[in-house]
Amino acid sequence: FPLEPTQWSDLDGDGFGDNLNGVNPDVFSLDPTQWSDQDGDGFGDNPTGINGDSCPLIEGESYRDLYGCLDSDFDGWSDGGDDCPLKSGLSYFDRQGCADSDKDGFSDPDVFSPAHPVGFSDAFPFENSQSRDSDGDGYGDNISGQNPDNCLNSFGTSSIDRNGCSDTD
């Protein structure tokens, strides 16, 4: 059995020949779920196959939400699914494809999405162990993270024995 395609082989057994001299050779000779790629972006035209192209007639680089669609900022999110299509980013929790300085999945706050608790963006964009601050006191909701809030549901300024609790003196 040859390891490379020959004029008459079908290495993946999908019924489409690997004929390199043919008019329509199987361009995915080792993937039985794909055989053609009309737009040449590397994602197969069979939508139910492995890595099926969601935009089979338009060459594209997206791979995070859809395969093979336009991705103007080259962050992996298709322009249609990217909340920040002109600026590359890897956020995925609150917004897809926006800047995420601490790489925790929550987008950095900006004019379109303010920080939590006013908005949904990261309240601590440079601290990856915290992203939410429900009471707005500057201490994070993640009790296991840096500078956790010991009194999650009430605004507080204490910082000596407990963070974020009422400090009347």
> What pLDDT, on a 0 to 100 scale, did the predictor assign at position 28?
92
CA-to-CA separations, 60 to 3, 85, 154, in angstroms, rounded: 30, 14, 48
d(CA 33, CA 51): 9
Predicted structure pTM score = 0.79
Mean pLDDT of 112-133: 97
In a 13 Å sphere around the CA of 119, the CA atoms on its Cβ side amount to 17
Distance separating the N- and C-terminal Cα atoms of the chain: 83
Confidence of residue 6 (pLDDT cuts 50, 70, 90): low
d(CA 12, CA 17): 9
